[in-house]
């Protein structure tokens, strides 16, 4: 029994197998069957590798969709910095998942391949999540420009001095003019909250003052980013904004779906790739798949959610199930869009469901005013005394424990933090579910006693 081939192995074993095949004619058919199963195992593994990298690992090899104009704008801008030595600043603005980082990475990669670009385009990548204040940012800049030895133990009076020193240090060596530096600031809106916005001020200042060619590119998801900038920072910014708006319609969305799911032309097993791509074409014309895509498109246009759906569908592909089907996509869509609160309510005990129904009635009677545990218990008692046949009259501490479980799950939230002053039973709370969610959850609740269901559906208050 041959061990299963490792996915990262090269094609060499397969060719060796081919060499070994011709002499044994009698066992050839058996071996061929094994070959086809094994080969398709390696094939499937390759498919998974390629598609998973495409959907989960956002590298520059991915394609861009609907961004031609923005791409050329950004490329032009960066070319001017690197080739002509111009200083610039720009902001790329777009909602989450619209492809800002992907666009920038693409442009940078294309730029590096150009011959005109002097090889020494220095890049500094900063991220608002990691560099949470200016000192850390400055250390990171020093590290990325590889100037730690040059800076050594020097102490600088201000941020500006430090930055000027760094840029001056780049000028040294046998260069008459310094090489251009590109600063990329991811999560730009987080840098805005630093003290005095000094990093931003200094970067934009340098980009205006034409000593070293410096380009500052910020990426942010906030549309109101300019209002967050201080006046002095805003005046030094060039106000150049590139917007990425996911501006494709549903037809293009289907085309994107097809392209993203298809295997590239360089795939080693051409027959399988052909089969796969035909299947994808077939899927894109299938009505159920179109419905699934339409539902997702109406919910959110960004490609990240599409990738999540496709990743779920691709993860179901195995050697026994080598091609994705419409059912896979439907299952993935169902997984993706399940209501999480309804799922949680499904797992509550009957006593806790009764408490939720009591809270629902209180909300209806008192128009959503906050309630406390005593009121809920009162309501529950009324139900037990008048209507319940299947529910046992539990003691107050047992009901309190069930209520505290609901608090722990954050289905019920106190209006203010519980302090030592108020007793727990009288703390005001509100329910974080609305009545339609509760009624829907009750429909699917397993083994719900009928009197509880009827109590939930009754709209009269029992006062």
Partner 1 sequence: MPNLAHPAYPSAELLHLESLVPCRESQVSMLLSIFGERQHFSFPSIFIYGHTSSGKTYVMQTLLTTLQLPHVFVNCVEHFTSRLLLEEILIQLQSCSSGTEQTSPVHCDTLNDFVRLFKQTLASQELQDQTVYIVLDRAEQLREMEANILPAFLRLQELTDRNVTVILLSEIVWELFRPSIGCFEPFTMYFPDYSIGHLQKILSQNHPPEYSADFYAAYINILLGVFYMVCRDLKELRHLAALNFSKYCEPVVRGEANERDTRKLWKNIEPHLKKAMQTVYLREISSSQWERLQRDGGEPGQLKGLSAHTHMELPYYSKFLLIAAYLASYNPVRTDKRFFLKHHGKIRKTNFMKKHEKTSNHLLGPKPFPLDRLLAILYSIVDNRVAPTANIFSQVLMNLVLMYCLPHLLEMESRQPQMQTFTL
Within 111-130, which residues bind partner 1 (CB under 8 A)? Answer: 127-130
Buried b (16+ CB within 10 A) or exposed e, 412-436: beeeeeeeeeeeeeebebebebebe
144 scored as a contact of partner 1 (CB under 8 A)? no
Segment contacting partner 1 by CB under 8 A, of 109-117, 237-245, 252-260, 334-342 = 334-342
Q: Are 344 and 409 in contact (CB under 8 A)?
A: yes
**According to CB under 8 A, which one of 16, 24, 114, 136 is a site residue for partner 1?**
136
Binding to partner 1 (CB under 8 A): which residues in 193-222?
A: 221-222
Q: Where are the beta strands (DSSP E) in 137-295?
A: 181-186, 214-220, 241-243
264 scored as a contact of partner 1 (CB under 8 A)? no
Q: Tell me which residue of 238, 322, 390 sits closest to 40, measured CA to CA.
A: 322
| Smallest distance, partner 1 to C-beta of residue 129, A | 5
Output the DSSP codes for 277-301. HHHHHHHHH-HHHHHHHHHHHHH--
Binding to partner 1 (CB under 8 A): which residues in 386-445?
A: 391-392, 394-395, 397-398, 401-402, 408-410, 420-423, 425-426
**According to CB under 8 A, which one of 34, 35, 45, 279 is a site residue for partner 1?**
45
Segment contacting partner 1 by CB under 8 A, of 43-51, 79-87, 162-170, 286-294 = 43-51
- x-marked contacts with partner 1 along 338-367 as a string, rule CB under 8 A: x-xx-xx-xxxxxx----------------
Provide the 10 A C-beta neighbour count for residue 157: 7
Interatomic CA distance for residues 203 and 129, integer angstroms: 18
Interatomic CA distance for residues 161 and 149, integer angstroms: 17
Phi and psi at residue 68, to the nearest 5°: -60, -45
- Size of residue set near partner 1 by CB under 8 A: 75
448 scored as a contact of partner 1 (CB under 8 A)? no
Query: Given the complex with partner 1, which of 114 and 444 has the nearer CB atom?
Result: 444
| Smallest distance, partner 1 to C-beta of residue 102, A | 11
> How many Cα atoms within 13 Å fall on the side-chain side of residue 307?
16
| Smallest distance, partner 1 to C-beta of residue 7, A | 5
Segment contacting partner 1 by CB under 8 A, of 62-70, 71-79, 152-160, 368-376 = 368-376
Segment contacting partner 1 by CB under 8 A, of 14-22, 136-144, 171-179, 258-266 = 136-144
CA 208 distance to own-chain centroid: 35
């Amino acid at each position: 029994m041959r061990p299963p081939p490792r996915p990262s192995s090269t094609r060499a074993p397969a060719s060796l197998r081919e060499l070994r095949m011709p002499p044994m004619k009698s066992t050839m058919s058996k071996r061929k069957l094994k070959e086809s199963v094994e080969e398709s195992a390696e094939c499937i593994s390759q498919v998974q590798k390629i598609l998973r990298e495409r959907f989960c690992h956002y590298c520059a090899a991915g394609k861009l969709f609907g961004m031609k104009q923005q791409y050329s704008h950004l490329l032009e801008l960066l070319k001017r910095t690197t080739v002509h030595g111009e200083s610039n600043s720009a902001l790329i603005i777009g909602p989450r998942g619209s492809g800002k980082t992907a666009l920038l990475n693409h442009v940078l990669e294309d730029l590096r391949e150009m011959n005109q670009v002097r090889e020494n385009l220095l890049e500094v990548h900063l991220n608002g999540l990691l560099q949470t204040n200016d000192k850390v940012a400055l250390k990171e800049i020093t590290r990325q420009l590889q100037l730690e030895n040059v800076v050594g133990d020097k102490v600088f009076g201000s941020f500006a001095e430090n930055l000027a020193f760094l840029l001056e240090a780049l000028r040294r060596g046998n260069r008459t003019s310094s090489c251009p530096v590109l600063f990329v600031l991811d999560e730009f809106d987080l840098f805005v909250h630093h003290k005095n916005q000094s990093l931003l001020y200094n970067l934009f200042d340098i980009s205006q003052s034409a000593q070293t060619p410096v380009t500052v590119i910020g990426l942010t998801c906030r549309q109101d980013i300019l209002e967050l900038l201080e006046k002095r920072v805003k005046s030094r910014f060039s106000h150049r904004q590139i917007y990425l708006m996911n501006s494709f319609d549903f037809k293009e969305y289907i085309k994107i779906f097809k392209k993203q799911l298809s295997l590239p032309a360089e795939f080693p097993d051409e027959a399988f790739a052909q089969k796969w791509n035909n299947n994808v074409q077939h899927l894109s014309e299938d009505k159920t798949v179109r419905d699934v895509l339409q539902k997702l498109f109406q919910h959110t246009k960004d490609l990240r959610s599409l990738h999540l759906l496709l990743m779920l569908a691709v993860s179901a592909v195995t050697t026994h199930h080598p091609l994705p089907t419409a059912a896979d996509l439907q299952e993935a869509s169902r997984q993706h869009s399940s209501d999480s609160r309804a799922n949680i309510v499904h797992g509550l005990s009957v006593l806790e469901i009764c408490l939720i129904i009591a809270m629902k009635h209180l909300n209806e009677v008192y128009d959503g005013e906050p309630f406390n545990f005593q009121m809920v218990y009162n309501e529950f008692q009324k139900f037990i005394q008048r209507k319940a046949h299947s529910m046992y009259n539990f003691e107050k501490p047992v009901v309190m424990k069930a209520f505290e479980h609901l608090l722990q799950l954050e289905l019920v939230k106190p209006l203010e933090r519980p302090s030592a002053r108020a007793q727990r039973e009288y703390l005001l709370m509100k329910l974080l579910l609305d009545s339609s969610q509760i009624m829907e959850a009750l429909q699917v609740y397993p083994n719900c006693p009928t009197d509880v269901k009827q109590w939930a559906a009754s709209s009269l208050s029992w006062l």
